[in-house]
Amino acid sequence: MQVSMFHLMPYRDLPKDFEQRYHSVWVDPPWWELADADKVGQYYNWTLDELVYAARSGLDGICTNEHHQNAYGFMPNPNLMGSALAKATNGLDVAVVQMGSTLPTTNPPIRVAEEYAMLDCISGGRLVAGMPLGSPMDVNYCYGVPPMEQRERYREAHDLIVKAWTAKEMFAWNGKYWQLPMVNPWPRPIQQPHPPIWVPGSGSITTWDFAADHDYCYCFLSYFGWQMAQGVVDGYWARVQEKGKDMNPYRLGFLQLVVVSETDARAEEEYAEHVEYFYHKCLHIAPEFAFPPGHHDWESLVHMVRRGGFGGLSMNLREMGYRDFVNQGCVIAGSPETVRDQLREMAKRLRVGNLMVLLHIGSMPHELTLKNIDLFAREVLPHIRDIWDDEGWENHWWPQRLRKPQPATR
Amino acid sequence: MAESVATGPKGMFLEVWQGRLKASVKVAGEGPPLVYVHAAAGLRWDDFLDGLARHFTVYAPELPGTGDSDPHDIYQVESLWDVVLIMGDVLDALGLSGVPLVGHSFGGMLAAEMAAHWPERFSKLVLISPIGLWREDRPVTNWMAVPLQDMPRLMFRDLSSPAVQRLLAMPQDQEELVMAQAKFVWALGCSGKFVWPIPDKGLEKRLHRVRAPTLLVWGRDDAVVPVEYAQDFASYIRGAKVEVVDGAGHVPQLEKLDQVLPRVLQFLQG
């Protein structure tokens, strides 16, 4: 298994009563009331330091992503972060996993082809190219794309980017959403024919098909643990089999919140408030922002209405505490033994080859984050790496030069 | 209330747009033809349309993707310009020219675009709380960003009117209810394709081309498109008359049916 640290870069000092006083953490939280640019500068630096620390501690990859107008995670351009990370990790066998530039809103989309190619060159061929559709908050509300056009724009941007990377001759692009007379980007990526592509999804059949048809790694980025994810992931694997593809576990990426301490009790003491901060404040998203009409295609919409409407979440996050989040598997927390047992079980059940772990959560301070990374890397990681070794799969979705047999312990 | 149209509207499908679309059109009533263009949430055959259908043969085309048309038809329509021309295709197929045109809200904007594009084609124009203009001091409410349960309070000032109550009545049958709700949301998504994120696509630059005698109907308490927009529309369309309806919101033709229907009929028949 390949294990990467994911970072959201949230605002770490929201007021205690944030979720009572404010409408939403995303789209309309008032910057001038809530935020301080000096603090934010410190957060960005801590975020970079934490990811570099993870890389030096032995994690296989480091992940950043793109979001806008929120206190939940605000790296409006993940490639600015990725660039600093690529430089800082030169010489390490660590993948720079961009999860990544939002395709429908990066204009023109060859900007993604160019920036990713830059990252691949700076990192010496260590880039994983995430291709997200983008959240409705980001794409529809913050960046103004009509919800009905989001998926079409995504497909066109994807086709254009891959062609821009691989075409040997300059070409003209006469698309529905973009027209470019002479496409010939400089640079092109080191990895040939192009860096591995990961597609984050939230469970729609359309995205399963897209990932399976193109032989990409499908990533389910869930905050609700593997029990809740089982249905979605089973659906994805069924689709993969229907299409006659192999069951290589590296076709699936999964995000898991993880906190490690010396003992289970100590973990609760140290991390409870930060986990609750994340679920209560960072996920305080106004439902109308998450489900604008037209965002779901017709089939998914009918399916959702039939299941009883919008929201999808059967849990009321605000009424849940640390122990609920742990018991439901939203967070895997505790001593190294507890965490490694649960991670092994989770990875086996979901058939995850590319695991992403969120090791900074909500309001977690810098020092505690380093402790979490350190314990995870030393006491957990060596015990979960070998999960798929007996099946002998190759991770085709990992940078070629980093693909080597992983020792069971480092 | 006088007798309603007993059988309700008839549905018909017309092959248009080089055969790529089967446009759905609802037809009801007797008398000279009239074209009605529906609002963002799709066509609902309401008491106002029944009222018009007692004097006119009402043709109500559905925006591709909405109502009884194939939901995927929306992907055949790329721009507002396409929508206007598809409506032209539909009217051609129906052989309609020199007819009155009535539109509400999103349909009001579309009707205004059609009347500006074909100044000779329509004998009269009735715009009921149309969108399509934008004022910094009184921005149009983004109805797609309103939680569904808050929609009635946004749309109506007067929820008590029987016509409004009939419109809001939901099907009892579970499957019908699912489809009605899904179609409602989908229609907002389809119409939203042509107005998101700001419902101003340059109509201001085209409205002067409208030559049909025009009546603007507006609820004084419209919470979607504030009543100030009535004067803006009137200032661009030569000779436009403005009828502001007290005690009504964004759907004055249902909230105050007894006032608005006679006024519209008088204008159309005058």
Say how many Å lie between the first and final Cα of chain B, rounded: 23
Question: Nearest residue of B to residue A291 by CA position?
Answer: B145
Calculate mean pLDDT across residues B121-136.
98
Count of CB pairs separated by less than 8 Å, A with B: 66
Q: How far is CA B8 from CA A53, A253, A326, B1, B44, in A?
A: 70, 53, 57, 16, 11
The reply to whether omega before A100 is within 30° of 0 (cis) is yes
pTM for the structure as a whole:
0.94
Among A246-260, A306-320, B40-54, name the one with the lowest average pLDDT: A306-320
Residue A146 is nearest to which of B75, B147, B192, comparing CB atoms? B192
Q: Does A179 touch chain B (CB under 8 A)?
A: no
| Nearest in space to B194 (alpha carbons), one of B134, B152, B140, B131 | B131
Q: Is the pLDDT of residue B127 over 50?
A: yes
Query: In B, which residues are within 8 Å of A298 by CB distance?
Result: 71-72, 182, 186
Chain A nearest C-alpha distance from B71 (Å): 7
With respect to residue B2, please indicate whether it lies within any of the assigned structural domains.
no
Count: domains in chain B: 1
Q: CA of A295, closest CA in chain B: separation in Å?
A: 7
Report the residue from A147, A152, A302 with minimal CB separation from B192. Answer: A147
Return d(Cα A258, Cα A250) in angstroms, integer: 20
Q: CATH number of the domain at B49, please.
A: 3.40.50.1820
Which residue has tokens 């309603």? B4
Token pair, residue B24, equals 């759905």
Length of chain B: 270
Confidence (pLDDT) at A300:
84
Nearest Cα residue in chain B from A286: B147
The rounded percent of chain A whose pLDDT value lies above 90 is 89
- Per-residue b/e over A69-78, b at no fewer than 16 CB within 10 Å? bbbbbbbebb
- The confidence band for B3, taking pLDDT boundaries of 50, 70 and 90, is very low
- For A30-54, the pLDDT digits (tens) are 999 999 999 999 999 999 999 999 9
- In the numeric block, the tokens 């994805």 are attached to A236
What kind and span of H or E run contains A128? strand A127-130
Return the structure tokens found at A401. Answer: 């030069």
Q: Which residue of A has its CA nearest to B179?
A: A302
Average pLDDT over residues B78-94: 98
Residue in chain B nearest A27 by alpha carbon: B145
- Give the residue among B151, B212, B157 at the shortest CA–CA distance from B184: B151
Kindly report which listed range (A42-56, A244-258, B36-50, B159-173) carries the lowest average pLDDT score.
B159-173
Is residue A277 within 8 angstroms of chain B, CB to CB?
Answer: no
Is the per-residue pLDDT at A408 higher than 90? no
A141, A293, A298: residue with CB nearest B188: A293
Of A233, A261, A385, A232, which Cα lies nearest the Cα of A326?
A: A261
Give backbone dihedrals phi and psi of A35, rounded to 5 degrees, phi first. Answer: -120, 165
pLDDT digits (tens, 9 = 90+) for A77-100: 999 999 999 999 999 999 999 999
Cα separations in angstroms, B261 against A225, B184, B211: 57, 25, 23
Distance from CA of B170 to the nearest CA of A (A): 14
User: Six-digit token pair at B54?
Assistant: 């007692």
* Helix residue ranges per DSSP H, A243-335: 264-277, 287-290, 298-306, 322-327
- Quote the pLDDT of residue A405: 61
Output the CA angle A43-A46-A50, nearest 5 degrees. 135
Domains of chain A with CATH codes: 2-402 (3.20.20.30)
pLDDT at A222: 86
Q: Identify the pLDDT of residue B1.
A: 38
- Determine the Cα–Cα distance for residues B169 and B47; give it in Å rounded to an integer: 13
Q: Does B182 touch chain A (CB under 8 A)?
A: yes
Structure tokens at B101: 């045109």
pLDDT at A394: 95
Classify residue B20: in a domain, yes or no.
yes
- Collapse the DSSP code of A35 into the 3-class scheme (helix H, G, I; strand E, B; otherwise coil) and give the result: coil
Subunit contact B185:A289, Cβ cutoff 8 A: no
Q: Given CB atoms, is A294 within the 8 Å cutoff of chain B?
A: yes
Q: Smallest Cβ distance to B71: which of A176, A293, A298?
A: A298
Question: Chain A 322-341, CB below 8 Å of chain B: which residues?
Answer: none
Nearest CA in chain B to A150: B193
Is B4 domain-assigned?
no
The mean pLDDT value of chain A amounts to: 95
pLDDT in the model for residue A309 = 63
**Amino acid letter, residue B48:** F
> Does the pLDDT value for residue A406 go beyond 60?
no
> CB under 8 Å to A18, separation ≥6 — which residues?
A25, A34, A281, A284
Q: Is residue B134 part of a domain?
A: yes
Query: What sections of A58-188 are H helices per DSSP?
Result: 78-88, 110-122, 136, 150-166
Does the CB of B242 have a partner CB in chain A at under 8 Å? no
Taking CA–CA distances from B66, the nearest residue in chain A reads A298
Mutate to test the interface with A, among B79, B141, B151, B185 (most CBs of A within 10 A): B185
Asked whether residue B5 is assigned to any structural domain, the reply reads: no
**A327's tokens:** 């018991």
**Chain A partners of B197 at a C-beta cutoff of 8 Å?**
140-141, 144, 146
Provide the pLDDT for residue A170: 98
What is the four-CA torsion angle of A139, A298, B182, A131, rounded to 10 degrees? -20
Q: Are B189 and A140 inside 8 Å of each other by CB?
A: no
Report yes or no: A209 at the B interface, CB cutoff 8 Å.
no
Candidates A386, A375, A406, A374; CA nearest to A94 is: A406
Tens-digit pLDDT profile for residues B201-248: 999 999 999 999 999 999 999 999 999 999 999 999 999 999 999 999
Any B CB within 8 A of A15 CB? no
Residues of B in contact with A310 (CB under 8 A): 148
Going by pLDDT thresholds of 50, 70 and 90, the confidence category of residue A231 is: confident
Express each pLDDT in A126-156 by its tens digit.
Answer: 999 999 999 999 999 999 999 999 999 999 9
A256 DSSP assignment: E
With CA atoms as reference, report the closest residue to B114 among B90, B140, B93.
B90
- pLDDT over 70 (residue A310): no
Note the pLDDT of residue A410: 40
Q: Which of A140, A148, A155 should be substituted to probe chain B, the one whose Cβ sees the most B Cβ atoms within 10 Å? A: A148
Cβ–Cβ under 8 Å, residues B243 and B261: no
The minimal CB distance from A305 to the residues B78, B182, B189 is found for: B182
B227 touches chain A (CB under 8 A): no
Provide the residue range defining the domain that includes B42. 10-269
Are the Cβ atoms of B196 and A176 closer than 8 angstroms?
A: no
- Do B144 and B75 form a contact (C-beta atoms < 8 A)? no
B125 occurs within a structural domain: yes
* Residues of chain B positioned with their CB less than 8 A from the CB of A292: 144-145, 189, 192
Residue with tokens 């380093």: A370
Q: Report DSSP state, residue A320.
A: -
Q: Chain A residue with minimal CA distance to B78?
A: A176
Which tens digit of pLDDT belongs to each residue from A149-193? Answer: 999 999 999 999 999 999 999 999 999 999 999 999 999 999 999
B261 DSSP 8-state letter: H
DSSP state of B224: S
Partners of residue A145 in chain B, C-beta under 8 Å: 196
Query: Cβ neighbours of residue A62 under 8 Å, at least 6 residues apart?
Result: A4, A5, A7, A51, A52, A54, A55, A85, A89, A94, A95, A96, A97
Residue to mutate among A140, A155, A156, A298, with most B CBs inside 10 A, is A298
Tell me whether residues B186 and A298 touch, CB distance under 8 A.
yes
Number of other CB atoms surrounding residue B200 within 10 Å: 15
CB A378, CB A255: distance < 8 Å: no
User: Element (H or E) spanning A235, and its range?
Assistant: helix A225-242
Q: Which of A147, A152, A298 sits opposite B196 (nearest CB)?
A: A147
Neighbours of B162 (CB within 10 A): 11
Q: Which two tokens stand for residue B40?
A: 């963002």
Contact list, B181 vs chain A (CB under 8 Å): 305
For position B4, what pLDDT does the model report?
A: 45
Three-class HEC string of A163-220 = HHHHCCCCEEEECCCCEEEEECCCCCCCCCCCCCEEEEECCCHHHHHHHHHHCCEEEE
On the CB side of B192, how many CA atoms lie within 13 Å of its CA? 26
- Residue A228's pLDDT is what? 84
Which DSSP symbol is given to A141? I
CB–CB of B238/B76 below 8 Å?
no
Q: A329-345, pLDDT tens digit by residue?
A: 999 999 999 999 999 99
